[in-house]
Amino acid sequence: MPSPLLESRRGLQLQSLGSTVLRLSLAFLLALFGTFKFFQFEATAIQPMVSHSPLLGWMYAVLSVRAASAVIGVVELGAALALLLAPWRPRLGVLGGLVATATFLTTLSFLVSTPGLLAPGNDGAGFLLKDLVLLGAALHVAGSSALAERAASGRAAAVPATAR
């Protein structure tokens, strides 16, 4: 007799729950990190990485350290809000997932653009490596939301439980 955990219905329930936990956790972390960007301690902490970034380094030429950090925070908070609204507005979930994806690709690029970040004993690289998992979560949410949007607009007959 098969285990109840191996039933298809149970698998779909677990997958759906996991998808929801991923989306909410990602939104929470983006909101938390985004809120930190409005404080001096975080603006100062990210300055070495942002200043060496070919993608973001220009910000310090036009904005103060604090203002540049706040702009990054607004982007992260916007992505978090979009992810929270995804069940009701799947297009926002796609947008939030893609903005989060760009955010994590950018922070992962710091690993190669910031001198000494990969040096032994530097805790910065370890901190940034968590963004690999968050990148996967962002891609999952964007894809799930795209499937949900497609199903809601009647362009698909069936949609996996993870997209609901």
Residue 162, pLDDT score:
53
3-state secondary structure (DSSP) of residue 55: coil
pLDDT above 90: residue 105: yes
pLDDT band at 122 (very low <50, low <70, confident <90, very high): confident
pLDDT above 80: residue 3: no
User: Is residue 157, in this structure, part of any structural domain at all?
Assistant: yes
Q: What is the pLDDT of residues 61-80, one digit of tens each?
A: 999 999 999 999 999 999 99
User: Is residue 145, in this structure, part of any structural domain at all?
Assistant: yes
3-state secondary structure (DSSP) of residue 164: coil
User: Is residue 6, in this structure, part of any structural domain at all?
Assistant: no
Read off the pTM.
0.88
Q: Is 121 left (phi over 0), alpha (psi -120 to 50) or beta?
A: left
- Point out the least confidently predicted range of 14-18, 109-113, 120-124, 142-146: 120-124
User: Is residue 91, in this structure, part of any structural domain at all?
Assistant: yes
pLDDT above 80: residue 142: yes
User: Is residue 138, in this structure, part of any structural domain at all?
Assistant: yes
**What percentage of the chain carries pLDDT values higher than 70?**
92
Q: What is the pLDDT of residues 25-64, one digit of tens each?
A: 999 999 999 999 999 999 999 999 999 999 999 999 999 9
Residue 25, pLDDT score:
97
* C-alpha distances in Å from residue 108, one per residue of 8, 9, 39: 37, 37, 22
Residue 160, pLDDT score:
54
Q: Which residues contact 164 (CB under 8 A, 6 or more apart)?
A: 16, 87, 148
* C-alpha distances in Å from residue 125, one per residue of 11, 49, 75: 36, 11, 22
Residue 84, pLDDT score:
98
pLDDT band at 164 (very low <50, low <70, confident <90, very high): very low
DSSP state of 163: G
Residue 24, pLDDT score:
98
User: Is residue 66, in this structure, part of any structural domain at all?
Assistant: no
User: Is residue 135, in this structure, part of any structural domain at all?
Assistant: yes
User: Is residue 54, in this structure, part of any structural domain at all?
Assistant: no
Of 146, 94, 89, the closest CA to residue 163 belongs to 146
* C-alpha distances in Å from residue 92, one per residue of 35, 55, 149: 20, 24, 10
Structural domain total, the chain: 1
Distance CA 105, CA 58 (A): 18
Domain with 115, as residue range(s), is 21-32+71-163
Distance CA 25, CA 31 (A): 10
